[in-house]
Amino acid sequence: MSVELRSSRPRRVGAGLVLAALCLALCSARAAPADAQAESETPPETEITWLKTAPRTEKGRFVNPIGPLPHGSGGRMPFFWRRMQATLWPRKGAAEAKASAREEFLNRPEESPWVTWVGHATLLIEMSGVRFLTDPMWSKRASPISWIGPTRLRDPGLAWDDLPDIDFVLISHNHFDHLDRPTLRRLAERNPDAIFYVPLGNGQLLRKDGIENVVELDWTQKTNFGPLEIVCLPAQHWSKRGLRDNNAALWSSWAVLGPSRRFFFAGDTAYFSGFTEIGEQYGPFDLAAVPIGAYRPVDMMKASHMNPEQAYQAALDLQAQKALAIHFGTFDLADEPLDEPPQRFMEAGAEAQPGEAETWVFSLGEIRPF
């Protein structure tokens, strides 16, 4: 049975709850089942190199260089129950929209670079006159099912009708809050020449929807778009979309390197030593977008998500001048209070020394030059 389905009307409450649990399982960031990952021993930390093509198991599944990610200890069913409650009775604390956002966007400066936060991991960026989106997501739910699953708590910071033409799209991995097929289909229809850059193994899903301009890259592979160099880079995460596709498709971060600016998109990741390697090889970055939310329960989340302090440390490791918070306040995916990640992230950056990364927390739809 595939879980890539869209059902229009609920039929049975029991089936709905099962599906809800399943979809929450797929959308949340619990550690990947170890049986789909390498059976080899985790190598000592000092020997781990992340800047290389992604390792695979004998069965061809991708695996992080540190080996299988830990599960965390127990508490999974209570967690899914809490997630389901949050879906049915949304919690307070979602990100705020900027009242003047639309006006500011429509009157944006003609000169790039600039960045605007649409919500969650979706950014619209223009560098050297080239416009691109990260993990574009305009749908109401981050879910395989249209009527249940994590609900968007606020409208996108940029209305679909105000979205200008785009040149390319970066996708970090296949979880439902990052790879949203309805949004990608609509984007491809509106921008038939746009290129969709994805980590290895994700192209098939896009081609199913008739999207042919797909470029699949392994970690450390690069390509060019006009004046920009695009580099697929590691992240410590995992992938899953159906019942039996654990880590069949790769996950990644991305660097976009231009003649005057360098941008890094962390996607969805734990804190890992790869940030230092990436900073040394591809930094310093003018702007690094780092995920700050979905870190509780800690045991369950820490192998695949960062907390706000780790996200700020990642920006320091990356040698970023500005650290832009993403992955919070839009979908309720984990146990921390919704408004806690941005507060802790700002506090983490408050003690920055001169020359260290400045923390940027946007309202939805906010636009800034960088």
Positions that interact with Zn ion (CB under 5 A): 175, 268
- Spell 304-325 as b/e; 16+ CB within 10 A means b: bbbbbbbbbbbbbbbbbbbbbb
Output 268 or 366, the one with its CB closest to Zn ion.
268
Output 245 or 268, the one with its CB closest to Zn ion.
268
Output 120 or 175, the one with its CB closest to Zn ion.
175
| Smallest separation, CB 300 to Zn ion (Å) | 13
Could you tell me which residues come within 8 angstroms of residue 100 by beta carbon, excluding any fewer than 6 positions away?
none
Q: Three-state DSSP class for 133?
A: strand
| Smallest separation, CB 295 to Zn ion (Å) | 13
Output 176 or 196, the one with its CB closest to Zn ion.
176
Output 61 or 175, the one with its CB closest to Zn ion.
175
H/E segment holding residue 260? none
The first and second tokens of residue 73, run together, are 């200890």
| Smallest separation, CB 173 to Zn ion (Å) | 6
Report in angstroms the alpha-carbon separations of 359 from 112, 132, 290, 323, 324: 21, 22, 10, 5, 6
| Smallest separation, CB 164 to Zn ion (Å) | 28
Output 267 or 365, the one with its CB closest to Zn ion.
267
Question: Strands 130-134 and 168-170, how do they pair?
Answer: parallel
| Smallest separation, CB 146 to Zn ion (Å) | 20
Output 175 or 302, the one with its CB closest to Zn ion.
175
Could you tell me which residues come within 8 angstroms of residue 334 by beta carbon, excluding any fewer than 6 positions away?
28, 29, 293, 294, 295, 296, 297, 301, 305
The CA distance from 336 to 298, in Å, is 10
The CA distance from 85 to 364, in Å, is 25
H/E segment holding residue 230? strand 228-233
| Smallest separation, CB 109 to Zn ion (Å) | 33
Output 126 or 268, the one with its CB closest to Zn ion.
268
| Smallest separation, CB 29 to Zn ion (Å) | 5
| Smallest separation, CB 60 to Zn ion (Å) | 20
Q: Are 42 and 67 in contact (CB under 8 A)?
A: yes
Q: Three-state DSSP class for 240?
A: coil
Q: Are 278 and 252 in contact (CB under 8 A)?
A: no
